[in-house]
């Protein structure tokens, strides 16, 4: 097992957003987390990278073990060297080119010299189909291209796990496909990913493990075919009926 997360808890002003959420991830897994708005899925993802400080719980990633409510700065730094985060709204530096955005984490965060970092950055941009845009600034790129730069930035540091927070939700519909195709290619290459998304087709076709969250808890999890075709929990069925009205047919009850 590559990553084990136990009993993550998080409250905001007395409101319990995460209630003992646990998850296990193997090397090469593509885990998709689904759920209605306000279910806690993005908060959970952000806690895994200490973008939010969880109130309790534990994380084991390889040989690194962390208590969420008692982590040292050194532990958080080590965790961030093993993970990468792809943000919903790209989070690129407007005054830096695509290549500079990709290489900054290598030079400033990893101490890699500029020449080597640029070589790594160009390979990462080539992988997402943007090598010819290496010298473009974010304002010169479409939303889909900016998000692909964000993915290139993530893969450049060769993390153990990439965390994706709604990577297509800020995009125009016609740009969604180019980002999902890059993610599908990463999955085919065996990249370990945890993806918060509303893209049901991606979850069905690419994920090997689907987690459905609601009200701060994991309601149900399993293989995509089980979650989409044979859900056990009524809360899961209700979500699927609403989100997939044209595709979802509730399984017939055997007589």
Q: What is the pLDDT of residues 62-99, one digit of tens each?
A: 999 999 999 999 999 999 999 999 999 999 999 999 99
Q: Which of 22, 4, 6, 98 is nearest to 60 (CA)?
A: 4
- Residues in CB range of 165: below 8 A, 6 or more apart: 42, 45, 46, 85, 86, 87, 88, 196
| pLDDT band for position 243 (cuts 50, 70, 90) | confident
Average pLDDT over residues 154-165: 97
| Tally of helices (H runs) and strands (E runs) in the chain | 9, 10
- Residues in CB range of 78: below 8 A, 6 or more apart: 64
Q: Going along 26-103, which residue ranges are E strands?
A: 30-34, 56-61, 64-67, 83-86
pLDDT for 23 beyond 90: yes
- Residues in CB range of 95: below 8 A, 6 or more apart: 137
Q: Read off the pTM.
A: 0.93
pLDDT for 219 beyond 70: yes
Q: Are 237 and 250 in contact (CB under 8 A)?
A: yes
Q: What angle do CA 178, 120, 131 make, to 5 degrees?
A: 40
Over residues 1-17, the pLDDT tens digits come to 899 999 999 999 989 99
């Amino acid at each position: 097992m590559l990553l084990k997360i136990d009993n993550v808890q998080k409250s905001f002003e007395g409101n319990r957003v995460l209630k003992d959420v646990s998850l296990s991830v193997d090397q090469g897994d593509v885990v998709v987390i689904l759920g209605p708005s306000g279910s806690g899925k993005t908060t959970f993802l952000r806690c895994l990278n200490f973008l939010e400080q969880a109130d309790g719980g534990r994380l084991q990633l390889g040989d690194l073990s962390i208590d969420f409510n008692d982590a040292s700065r050194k532990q958080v730094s080590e965790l961030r060297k093993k993970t990468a985060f792809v943000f919903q709204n790209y989070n690129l530096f407007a005054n830096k080119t695509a290549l500079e955005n990709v290489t900054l984490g290598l030079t400033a965060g990893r101490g890699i010299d500029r020449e080597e970092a640029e070589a790594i950055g160009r390979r990462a941009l080539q992988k997402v189909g943007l090598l010819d845009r290496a010298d473009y600034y974010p304002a010169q790129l479409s939303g889909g291209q900016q998000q692909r730069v964000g993915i290139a930035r993530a893969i450049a540091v060769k993390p153990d796990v990439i965390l994706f927070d709604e990577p297509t939700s800020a995009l125009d519909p016609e740009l969604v496909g180019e980002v999902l195709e890059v993610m599908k290619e990463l999955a085919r290459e065996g990249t370990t990913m945890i993806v918060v998304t509303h893209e049901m087709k991606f979850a069905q076709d690419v994920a090997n493990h689907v987690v459905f969250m609601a009200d701060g808890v994991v309601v149900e999890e399993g293989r995509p075919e089980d979650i989409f075709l044979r859900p056990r929990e009524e809360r899961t069925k209700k979500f699927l009926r609403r989100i997939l009205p044209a595709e979802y047919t509730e399984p017939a009850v055997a007589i």
